[in-house]
Every structure is written in structure tokens, then in C-alpha cells.
Structure 1
Amino acid sequence: MSSLIEYDSNTQLEPSGMAHDHAAGAGQTNLLELAWQARWLLLLTVLTGLGAAWILLQRVEPRFTSVSRLYIERNMPRILEQEVQLGNSASYLYTQAELIRSTPVLAAAAEQGENASLETFRDVDNRVAFLRKNIDVQVGQNDDIINVSAELANSADAAQLVNSVVEAYISKYAEERRTDTVEVLTILRNEKQRRDAELEARRQELIEFRQQNAALAVQVGEENVITKRFSSLAQELDRVELELLDAKARYNRTKSMYETPSQRPFLLELASSQQQVANEIRSESQLSLDLENKIRDLDLQIASLQSTWGDGHPRVRIMLESREKLQARLDKQQADIEKNKEAIVSAYVETMSQEYQLLEQKRAELQRNYDSQFKLALQVNSQAAKLALLEESLARTARLTDILDERIKEVNLIEDVGAMNVSILEVAGPTTVPTYPNRTRFLGVGGLLGGLVGFGLAWLRNLMDHRLKSIDEIAQVLQLPVLGALPLSSERANDRKGRSAIGTVLLTHPRSTAAEAFRTLRTAIHFGLARDDAKIICVTSPSPGDGKSTVASNMAIAMAQADQRVLLIDADMRKPTQHTIFEVTCEQGLSTVLTERRPVRELIVSTEVVNLDLLPCGVCPANPVELLNNGFFSELLDKLRLDYDKIVIDSPPVMPVADARVIAAQTDATILVLRADRSTRRMSVASRDELWKVHAQRIGVVVNAVPARQQSSYSSGYGYGGYGAYGHAGGSYGESAYQLDAYPANGRRQKGLAISAKAETPSTDPAETSEIST
């Protein structure tokens, strides 16, 4: 027999403790699919939102907006050397916008005579606060236009108040800018007069000084000879002093490193930066490395010869002598290298010292020449220095006077046109179309909110729905192959005739969609699950009412119609159904064989289907689990295996009782029947885990009772539900020992797990309680 479960080698089975969480994630529905499933709910909520928005539109008081558009151009004079353009900057426009909404402007607008009798101000105590609340000032994002607007219930009042605010702003701030320009012009003119007098005084002083010192006319270019030489010496002295400081720092650092033995390797690296020294060190190091390689090769040869000839062999002694000579050369070479390194370091330190001393001598010589030239310049050219100072003062005063002349001309122009030019591009006027409420926006927001509420309700409903909704979700959650999906039958199983028709649909409706679905299921079971080595197939379901008996009977008929000898065993000794489907008596059957040990062939009933035999359940016993677990049932299956090609066992549901787990552990394959619109993720995963615990082999899934409206798209979604009571003659299944035991971390099932079940009638006799271990 094959392994417990056949699955793809790349698929890792998840532990049952994680299966529920994984199933919850797999159950999430695509948003578009969720919206389509809840389309009527969404339509209802959207219509409700639109209706609410329409009612609100009828009750809201309309408001009208009046707008005035301003263009403010700033013309400010430049003061002396100020070159910053203060014109149409963004910060300036925002400042003007705040000034328009300032308290002085709003108060001036509110106090205008024509605004006193406005209907808008009738019940307003604080008019300035009212204007600040309702007047909106915005600066254009893509232009330099300022928009002043007001939104009020009275269109005419809104236009009048906006125009009043604009007029108050122009009269208060724009006129003040002209006054500021006049003050600036007055300051510039006074400064110009003072600078003119200073310029004339500087010019007269320079003329008198030149007349008194006529010898200063001898110059080289525009500079005196002695002054030029003194300047050159000063520049050279500064350069040498900087080089001396640098040389001193390098010498002190080199000396400190030389006196510290641990720092000498770094000093050697500094000395090696010279190309000649680097080549010398590299050459000696390469020679030493070559000698080491030769010694290493000789060691290998000596070791080889010693292992072959011994230590006393002549060739070994010759090789040892050669190695000693090479080692002596290597030691001498390394000693020479160390001496050379020491000499290089010493030479590098000496070079730094000589460089420092040379710069020190050069600085001293330049300092002597500089001092001498400085004295000479003071003695001979004191008048020239004073002359240069007078000329510089005259030139600076002249430049300031010219700048003042230019600024005065600019301010004169600004005084004529105004410091700030305010252009009213659009005057506010009353409008007839209300801007609030916006019908399109109100209806759009109402519809959007209604859609969001509807989608939220649909999402909440989907979140609380734990049913498996698609073939892909079943395969992903259960990690089992889905063999097929069967349509919902139009027959009703309210009486024996209806149950018989549903259970033998391949006979009563051989050309129906359901019959073709069972034939497809037969093919899928043969090629994808059972194959020839799996003769005994257990058909079960998570809970009662999933249709496992109907699937078992029709599947047995389909196999029989394929020229296979098939035996259908009704092992549901809690609530048998197969005798009703095939309309036979149920007085004797499987329970009779297990309790009385009668020959099974005497109790097998032939059906009207060729190649199909039926073993009914018989009288329902009080202890079905013990009968199935005593070993005789397994022996019975082994005997029947020799007489039939396929044996289909209709077993009880997995979760209510332990019968199905006992039967599944003794069969070659197990089919788990799930019911559309009913089976939940938790129940299905629990059933799969229970079958895994007993090592049920080749588990496959069949989806039963798919509604007709979902047959064309059931692979993308259908719902399942819960289950009700399941009993016989007022009784019910025994209590299941099922628990959601967590799997180990490696994702494999634990072996040796036991499943226990209690009989219908409580008993204190230990013999009446059975435990199955696999």
C-alpha cells in the first residue's frame, strides 16, 4: 500500500494549528468579486446615500459667492547698495493678503455708510468678526493675482462687502506707501548735500598736499618704487613663514615618531613614498622572498628524501648543507634589510631637519631685509603713503556721491507713479447661481458614502462568513486534491421515492448534467486518486447532510457501468440510507456479519444495476465502533477484495462519531464530501486532520450540491454553511474525541495518535469503550 497521503513533493503540509489561520487568509475574497456578490446591497446603499443627499439639498440655505480680483505691483526704491528685488515676491503677496483681512481694513469697510443698512448686518453684533469669518483672501498658485471673496446668503450684500474691503485696503495701505517714498527721497537728498561738501573738501586737501610735495611725482606706474619693493618683501616673507611652519610641524612629527620605536614602521612608510627608496626596499624584499621560497622547496625535497633514504644518505646531507647555506644568506639578507631600513629612516629624519633649518635661515634673511626696507619706506615715503590715503578718500567719496545721484533719480520716478500700484482686474458683482450647496458634489459625496457603507457591510458579512467559497480555496486550505463538483439535484429527498431518485440519478436521468458529473468524478478517481491498486474506497463527510450517501451510491453505479464488479457497503450503522436508495430490506446486513459472524455472501444483495452488489447496513447496533475495530471487519474487507474490482463504503460523518476514522484507516482511499453553501473551513480542516491522524490514505475532496446559478463559476466562489442534528430513532451520534491537536513544527503528522469514541448508551463497563491505535 502506498503512503498515507499522495501530494506534490514540493508542497509542505501545514500543521493543523496553523491551518485555520491559513484558511482565514485564503478565504479573503477579491474586492471586485466581493462587490459583485454584494451588488444589490451596494445599489441599495448608494441609492439611500443619494436620497439622503437630495433631502439635505432641499433643506440647506443657498449661499452666493462674489469675487474681486486684484493685481498688486510693488515699486520700492533701492537704498544705496541694496540690490535685492522686493517686487512681486510670494511672501509679499501673502503679506498683502493678510493686510486685507487685518482688523483696521475690516473695521474701515464695516464703518462705511452704505454698509450700515445691509440685511446681512441686521442681527450681527461684531461686524469685524463677521467679516473676518466670511471674507476669504487667496493668492493665486500660478499667478500673482489676489482673490477677495465672500460667500453669503444675500448675493448683493456679498458683492458690496467685498468691494468695500478692497476700497478700504487701497485707501489705507496703498496711500501710506506714497508717504514712505517721499520720506526716503528727503533722506537721500540731505545725504547728497553732505557728501558733496565732503567731496569738495577732500579734493582741495589733495591739491594742497601735491603742491607741497612735488618729489612724489616719481613713480613706477601708479605705485612708488620703494613702496612696491616693500610690498614684494612682505609677500615673500609671509610665504616663507607659512612654509617654515609646515616644515617645523613635519620635522617635529618625524622626530617624535623616530624616538618612539613602535612608530618607526609608519615612519618607514613615509620614507618609502620616495620612488628610489621604494624601489630599493622592494628589490631587497623580493630577494629575501626568493630565498625563503628556495628554502621551502629544499625542505620539501629533504623531507621526501628522508622518508625514502633516511637521514644518513649522502644526497640528504648535501641537501641539508645547501639549506644551511641558503638560511645563512637569508639571515644576512634580512639583517641587511633591517640596517637599510634604519638608515632610510635616519636619512629621512635628517632630510626633514635640513629642510626646516634651510627655511629658518631663509626666513631670518628675509626678516632682516623686510625690517630695513620698512625703515626706509617710513623715512622716504611717508608723504607718498599720505598721498595714497588722500586719493583713496577722494575716490570713495566720489563713488558714494554718484550712487546717491542714481537713487534720487529712481525715487523721483517712483514718487510720480506711486510706491504700490493696485489694479482691480475684476469688481465684485452679485451672482444668481448659488455656489453652496453644490448639487453635483453633494450627490457625489452622498453616493460615495452610501457605496462605502454598503461595501463595508458586504466586507463585514464576508468576514463573518466562514464557509469555503471556491475550489481554489478548498485546495489551498485543505491541501488536498479536489476531484470534482456535483450539481444540486432538483429532486427532493422528503420520501423514499425522492431519496431513491437522487441516489440513482445515473439510472433515472442518465443524460442529465448530474449523471455526467458523476461519470467525470469516476474518471478523476481512477486516474487521480485510486488507480488499480486502490480497490476499497471510503466515502465520508465532515457532518451529516453533506450528501455522502448519494455520492457513494451514484459513484458505485458509475463504476459498475464501466464494466467493473462493484460492491457498495452501507457502513453507516447510525443512520443507514443505501437500502432506501436501492429499495431493499434492511433487516440483515453488515451489522449481522459483524455480530453473528454469518457468511457475507449470504447477505449481499444484487441490484438492478449490472455488476453492482449491495451489502446493506442491517439492524443498527448499539456499539458500531467496537464492531468495526475488533479486527473482523478488516478481515472481511480482505476477503471481499478478492471478489470485486471496487468496493465503495458509505461511512458515517467524520466529526460526530469515530466510525469514519476507523473505516478510513482500513481502506485504500478516502473521499471527503463537502456540501456547497454549507461546509465551513474549520469543520473541513478538522475532518481532514482527523483522517490524517488515523493515516487515511489517498484523501480526495468532492464538492456536492453546487447550485445551478454557480455551476458556470463555482471555481471562483460559492458558499457553505453549518450542519444540524443527526440521529436515528430519536438518538444521535456518539460524542467525538476530536480535538484540534497542533502538529509538530516540521508540518508532519504524529504517529501513534489514538481516537476514542463513546457508545450511544453510557456504560461503566470498560469493555464497552474501544480505542483505535494505528
Structure 2
Amino acid sequence: MSSLIEYDAEFSPETDSLAAESMEGRSQTNLLALAWQARWLMVLTVLLGTGGAWLYLQRVVPRYASESRIYIKRNLPRILSSDVQLGESSSFLFTQAELIRSTPVLLAVANAAENAELETFRTAESSVGLLKKQLAVQVGQNDDIINVSIELPVAADAAQIVNSVVDAYVSKYAADRRSGTAEVLDILRKEKQRREAELEQRQTVLEEFRRQNPSLAVQVGRENVITKRFATLADALDRTELELINAKTTHNRTQQMYESPDLRPYLYELASNRQTAAEDIRIENRLQLNLEKQLQDIDLSINTLRATWGDGHTRVKLLLDAKEKLQQRLADQLVAIEDRKTAIITAYVETVAQEHQLLEHKRAELQSKYDTQYKLAMQINIQNGLLATLEESATRATNQVDILDDQIKKLNLSENVGAMNVSIMEVAVPSQVPSYPNRSRILALGALLGGLVGFGMAWLRDLLDHRLKSTDEIASTLQLPVLEALPLASGRLSRAQVGTIMVHQPQAMLAEALRSLRTSIHFGTTNGASGGGNGDASKVIAVTSALSGEGKSVVASNLAIALAQLGRKVLLIDADFRRSCQHEIFGVEAKRGLTSVLAERQSVAEVIIPTSVAQLDLLPSGPSTSSPVDLLNNGYFDDLLDDLGAEYDRVVIDSPAVLPVADARIIAALSDSILLVIQAEQSTPQDSLAARDQLWQVGARQLGVVINRVPLNKLSAYGHGYGVLGYHDDPPKQVALEPGKAPIPAEKAVVS
């Protein structure tokens, strides 16, 4: 059960941000719920889409596909190639696919005698153009098979054309490619003899150089020991010089900061990066923060107890003593921290100076060793360069000889080797089943497109509809509690019948919801009151709405009846001077009323009219007036409400709408609680937020929302989807509520 929200004088509502959050929330539409709401529209569009697909199937000309599968193997000798044979390249297959679709092949197919009488070529403007457009040649992704296919209205023509394309390709390109290998083999043998002689010469030169330079044989792994040591010293010297530069910079900066009183505190931040110092600092900071937090807690407790008991209370004095002790501890802790900081800074400066001196000594020693090793390394590098050149030359010659020898062994010594072999794996045959259109796929696609169009129309309609449509949306938009959602009264009832449905149809869903509203108001105002548990803190309850026509008067009359049925003495005031209707709802005359009391100072006791409902009196609006705002704002209305509040247990005010006139804001400022009536599926966030803000601006103390006229088929969106209001609406009837009282008349039939 929601409670009325208490107004805070220091609270300033941020209307723009709340409205933005509301619109952002609306963008996160529940797609399943939206689809369910538009289910009949989607069914219609699905049927239309399916019908359109069916009509398309009746008019489209079927086409038949024929396919031939060929395997092309290139059988060329390997010439100076390490691993990959030229015929096995993937680009070769794609090249052959383009050759199959080339103009010479297609022209040969179009000019073939057996194809001259084909219906496809007779009706085509250009046979080659038709083949280029319709012929498909694809290379398999997981194999080396080439698929040649075409799709035509005549199945026999499709099969014959595919087979003719394959035959033309074989005749044009594959059959003429023959090459001999004897000449290739002779070239390879001569090249091998020349490379072997060159290899023998290079090996002789390499052995002689190694014999003259025996020091090159002393190595660690693959590197000469002298060169390796020099590289290690150079690397160490570079790192040490970089460290020395950093250490010198740090040392100079530290000395300057230490000697300057203004910069010395910054040394503490540098020293705090040390692991041991940082740990000590964290411990001391945690202790300081703990003491400061205890002081904050004690200050909060002192302020709370002072507001309740005053400064002289024992607990306040004890807390003040404890605060003084903690402040002393905090002061001592701050002194200790400052001493610790000074010690840390001094230690840090000495450490930086020692690190700088150590790096100076280390760099001098490394420089001396580096100079000695540099001379030795220069000699070794020259010799190593010559050795590497000789070794690389000998290795390259050896590899070339091995490659030639391997290619000679693998060469096909047959007299003539076919450059390319074409194997026809599948011959194209006429198809009995059309490949296009796929009836099931077309129908499914039509149904899918129809469903998407229907859903898109529903989504667009929902996107353009800015009305409030659920309890959660209203609560999140207005940031106010929703006390109850009142369903739309079933049947065609007059305003008087709907306004007194609590007595005409006490078991109706609307009557049950009004009783739930009465309970929500009782407990909401009771919980919001600072004293007492009887809910008397909200004697004056104003019922208003953002705009006229949202049903606030009906809610006010039924709420007054519901409160009176509890045995409380209730007064219903019709303060809507411009559109008064409470006298019509209760079937009484309104020659005198609230305007008579405020303008003419007539006795309110003489103007109040007893209604047919026990314990319920009515103060009608009375004669019309030209300045309702002046009547309400003259100060007498406030005194009148105080007097009536003393006489009645509850005073319910039928207030005008908030946005059109200023009357509602005056009434809200003088009321204990305000019910803002929002019509379901009609009210907009802009109007509702504007009404809420105007009520808050005048200091409305307790504010809650009542959702009115919820359609019966949308109760689930407003919290009544589980059928808790399981009552049947009784037919409208006239009831004499008390002996001697006339029944409430049924006026012109309207829908609530």
C-alpha cells in the first residue's frame, strides 16, 4: 500500500530531469507486451503479406537450374620451387572459372550447331549477353571442384547449355596445353653441375680463413665470447648511465625541495611512495580518519539529542565530554603524524643521496671495463664479418644444389606431360522440379514481412503516443505514490449514478477500488502524521486533477461516501465554482453555497445540505461568481476550513483542475492532503508534471495519485490483473438511503 508523500519545504523538484527520465523509460518499451497489444493488427498484416506472396507465386514464371561439376588438375613439372606446385594454386582455379565465363567460350556455345534451335537463344536479343548474365561458375570452398550452373525457364535448354559450356572450355583451353619435359630436364642438369663447382670453391676459401683465425672458434652458444662480453658491458653501462641521470635529477630536486620551507611538504608525497613509509602512513591516516569519523558521529548524536532534549540533558553532556576527549586525541595524533612526516622526509633525502653516490661509483667502474673490451671487440667483429660472409655464401650454394637435385628426382620423365587434365564429375541433366520460386520460402517471407510491418506500425503508434499507460510509468514519471487505480464503471451510467456508485452498486469493481482507496488514504495519512495513530492528521482532503474532465468530482463524491460509511461525520465541499456538479450528483438544489458564505458572509450552517447518505453533508458551490480566486484568497476560507475541521471528522473538497485556473493551488495550500486524479490512457506526462509542480510550489503537504477510468481490459497494467476485484457489477438502480429521503435521480446517461 502506497503512502502519501510528505512535502519538504526545502525540496525543489527538477521537472526537466524527471520528464527526461520518464521519456527515457518510455523508450525502453516492452516489445512482447507491445506485440500482444497489437496482435490483431499483426495477424491482419501477416495475412496480407501471405496473400501478397501467394499472388506473386501465381504470376511468376518458374525457372529450372542445371549444374555440371568438373575437376581440373594441372600436371606441370616442379622447377626451382620449394613446396607448392603451380597447378595447385587457389588462384589457378579462379582463373579457370573466369576462362569458362570468357567471351570466346560463350561465343562458341552460342554458335554451336546443336544450340541453334534452342528456345532460349531464339527469344534472346544477345545469346552471349544472356549467358554472361545467367551462367554461374563457382569454385568449391572446401574442395577443388568447379560448379557450372544456369537457371532458365526451359529445363532442357538449361542442361544442354551447361554441357556445351563445359565442352567448349575443354576444347578451347585444356586440350591444347601440352609441354615436353626433356628440355627442362637438360637445363636442370647443366645448372646443377655449375652450382656444384661453385660450392666446392667457396668451401675451400672458408676452411682457409678459419685456419688463419683460430680465436673465432671460442664461442658461447652461437656468439663469440669476446663479442658477447662487450655487448653485456655496453648494455650494463647504458642502463647505469640512465639510472645515474635519473638519480642525479632526483637528488638535485630533493635537495632543493628540502632546503625550501615551501616545497618541503611535497617531499612527504614522494617519500610516501616507499613501501614501508607508505604502510606507516596508511595506518596513521586510518587512525586519523577513524577519530574524525567518531567526532562526526558524536556531533550528529549531539545535534539530534539537543533537538529532542535540549543542552541540559545528561546524555548531551556525556557526549560533549566524549567529544572533547576525542578532539584532544585527534590533536595528539596530528602532532605525531607531523613528527613522523619529518622523519620520513629526512630519511628519504639521505636515501636519495646514497643512491646517487653508489651509481657514480658503478658507472666509473663499468666505463673502465667497457673501454678495454671495446678494442678487443672491434678486432673480433671485423673477423666475424668476413667469416659470416663466407659461411653464408657456402650455405646458399649448398641449398641451390640440393633444390636442383630434388627437382630432377621429382620430374616426370615421360615424353609429353599433359599440362592440365579436366575430369567431368557430373553431367548436367534437365531438372523436373523448378529451382525458383521456392513456394514455402516465399510464403514464409511474405508472412514475416507482414508481421514486421504490423509490428512496426504498432511500435510507431506507441512511439508517437505520449499518454501515461501504467501504474509504474505514472509513479516513475511523477515521483509520487499511486494510492489506487479505479476501474471504468461498467454499463452506461449517469454522472449521478457513477458519483454515488458506493451506494447504488456497493459490490461493483469500482466501489471495491474506492474502498481500497479509502484504506490507502487512512493508513497513508496515519503513517505520515507525527502523532496519533487515528489518521486525524489529514482532516481536509482536496481532490483535484491536471485538466478538467478526468473524473475528479466523481472520485470526490464517492470518497466522501466511503468515509461516511465508516461512521465518520463527513462534509463534501464543491469548490469548483466554474464547473460545479456535486449538487447534481446528490440531487439537491444549490441556490446558496460556498460563494454565499465567502462573498455574503452567510452562516455556513444554513448553507450546508444533508445528503441522502448518512453522516454525509454537502456544501455546494452556490451561485456563480466572477472572481473565484479572490473569494478563496481573502483569508476567510482558511478560517472556514478550520471551523469545519473542528466540526467534522473529514472534509473532502472537490477542487478545480490545477492547470486551467489558480483556484486549485489556493485550496491545496490550505488542505492537509491532496489527491491528484489522473485519467488512465488519456493524461500526458507534461500536464501531470506541470500540475504536480504547481502543487509542490504552493507547499502541498501530502500528495498522492489516483488513477481513474482504467479500461477493464487493461487492469493488469494498473495492478489488478490477478482478479482480486472479483465482484460483478450490479445493474444501476435508484436507492432511498434513509427513510423520508428521495432517491437519487438518474440523469442523462453518460459513460464514466
Determine if the TM-score, normalized by the shorter chain, exceeds 0.5: yes
**Shift of the alpha carbon at 1:525?**
0.8
2:558 aligns with: 554
Q: Where does residue 120 of structure 2 map in the other structure?
A: 120
Pairwise mapping of residues 3-402 of structure 1 onto structure 2 (< 5 A)? 5-6=5-6, 15-28=14-27, 29-80=29-80, 82-177=82-177, 179-180=178-179, 182=180, 185-191=181-187, 194=190, 229-230=211-212, 232=214, 242=227, 349-353=367-371, 359=376
What amino acid is aligned across from residue 155 of structure 1 in structure 2?
A: A
Residue aligned with 1:672, SS: strand
Alpha carbon RMSD of aligned pairs, Å?
Answer: 4.4
Amino acid at match of 1:702: V
CA separation in 2, counterparts of 1:392 and 1:355? 31
Structure 1: distance between partners of 2:43 and 2:523: 47
Deviation at 1:248, TM superposition (A): 11
Contact 2:544 2:657 in 1 (8 A): yes
TM-score, structure 2 length as denominator?
0.70
Give distance in 2, aligned partners of 1:677 and 1:338.
Answer: 80
Q: CA deviation at 1:512?
A: 1.9
The answer on whether the counterparts of 2:5 and 2:704 sit within 8 Å (CA) in structure 1 is: no
| Aligned residue identity for 1:501 | Q
SS in 1 for 2:516: helix
Per-residue CA distance 1:648-667 (angstroms, 9 max, x = gap):
00111112221111111110
Give the CA deviation at 1:681.
Answer: 2.1
**Whole-Å separation in 1 of the counterparts to 2:139 and 2:366:** 72
Q: How far does the alpha carbon of each residue in 1:385-427 deviate from its partner, in whole angstroms, 9 at most, with x for none?
A: xxxxxx999999997885565244x2529x46x3333222211
1:172 is displaced (CA, Å) by: 2.3
Name the residue aligned to 1:502.
498
After TM superposition, give the deviation of residue 108 of structure 1 in Å.
2.1
Q: Secondary structure at the match of 1:27?
A: helix
Equivalent residue of 2:414, what SS? helix
Q: CA deviation at 1:445?
A: 2.2
- Whether contact under 8 Å (1:88, 1:144) holds in the other structure is no
Amino acid of the structure 2 residue aligned with 1:511:
Q
Aligned CA distance change for structure 1 residues 425 and 628 (closer, same or farther; 3 Å):
same
Determine the structure 2 residue equivalent to 1:473.
473
Unaligned runs of 5+ in 1: 207-221, 269-333, 371-390, 718-774
The amino acid that maps onto 1:580 is: E
- Letter of the 2:55 partner, please give it: I
Identical-residue share of aligned pairs (%): 49
The C-alpha deviation readout for 1:162-212, integer Å capped at 9, x for no partner, is 0011111122222233x13x2xx0322432675799899x89xx9xxxxxx
CA–CA distance in structure 2, aligned partners of residues 568 and 394 of structure 1: 115
Distance in 1 of aligned mates of 2:658 and 2:405: 108
Amino acid at match of 2:214: S
Change (3 A) 1:615 1:424: same
Q: Tell me by how many angstroms 1:226 deviates.
A: 8.0
Question: CA 1:21 to 1:110, structure 2 compared with 1: closer, same or farther past 3 Å?
Answer: same
3-state SS of paired residue (2:543): strand
Which residue identity lines up with residue 212 of structure 2 in the other structure?
F
Give the drift of 1:225. Answer: 10
Change beyond 3 A, Cα 1:342–1:711 = closer
Shift of the alpha carbon at 1:526? Answer: 0.9
Which residue, out of 581, 585, 593, partners 2:589? 585
**Aligned 8 A contact 1:67 1:159 in 2:** yes
Over residues 244-283 of structure 1, what are the superposed CA-to-partner deviations in whole Å (9 max), with x where a residue is unaligned? 98699799999x989xx989969x9xxxxxxxxxxxxxxx
SS in 2 for 1:467: coil
Query: Conserved in 2, the CA contact under 8 Å of 1:63 and 1:153?
Result: yes
TM-superposed deviation, 1:585? 1.4
Match of 2:542 in 1: 538
Matched ranges for 1:561-710 at <5 A: 561-710=565-714
Contact kept? 1:5, 1:696, Cα under 8 Å: no
String of CA shifts for 1:449-470, please: whole Å, max 9, x gaps.
2222222221222122221111
1:4–1:696 contact (8 Å) kept in structure 2: no
- How far the C-alpha of 1:633 sits from its partner, in A, is 0.2
Aligned partner of 1:406 in structure 2 is 409
The change in CA–CA distance for 1:148 and 1:653 in structure 2 (over 3 A counts) is same
| Cα distance change of structure 1 residues 555 and 64 upon mapping to structure 2, 3 Å threshold | same
SS in 2 for 1:412: coil
User: 1:456: which partner in 2?
Assistant: 456
- Contact 2:234–2:370 under 8 Å retained in 1: no
Deviation at 1:482, TM superposition (A): 0.7
User: Using the alignment, how far apart are the partners of 1:550 and 1:479 within structure 2?
Assistant: 25
Quote the Cα distance in structure 2 between the aligned partners of 1:196 and 1:619. Answer: 126
Residue aligned with 1:617, SS: coil
Residue deviations 1:300-335 (CA, integer Å, cap 9, x gap): xxxxxxxxxxxxxxxxxxxxxxxxxxxxxxxxxx99
Aligned residue for 2:675, secondary structure, equals strand
Q: Please give the alpha-carbon distance, in whole angstroms, between the structure 1 residues aligned to 2:556 and 2:30.
A: 34
Q: Deviations over 1:54-105 (max 9, x none)?
A: 2222222211111111222333321145432345443332222222112222
TM-superposed CA distance for 1:7, in Å, is: 7.7
1:593: Cα distance to partner?
0.7
> Contact conserved, 2:469 with 2:717, CA < 8 A, in 1?
no
Rounded to whole Å, the distance in 2 between the matches of 1:683 and 1:715 is 23
Is contact 2:7–2:700 with CA below 8 Å preserved after alignment? no
Distance (Å, rounded) in 1 between the aligned partners of 2:404 and 2:606 = 137
- Counterpart for residue 759 of structure 1: none
Q: Is the 8 A contact 1:487 1:706 kept in 2?
A: yes
Amino acid at match of 1:575: R
Deviation at 1:714, TM superposition (A): 3.6
Residue type of the partner of 2:421?
A: N
Give the C-alpha shift of residue 233 in structure 1: 5.4
Query: Using the alignment, how far apart are the partners of 2:246 and 2:470 within structure 1?
Result: 78
**Stretch moving more, 70-79 or 635-644:** 70-79
Distance 1:449 1:24 in 2: 29
Partner of 2:510: 514
Q: Confirm or deny: 8 A CA contact 2:69 2:145 kept in the other structure.
A: yes
Greater Rg by CA: 1
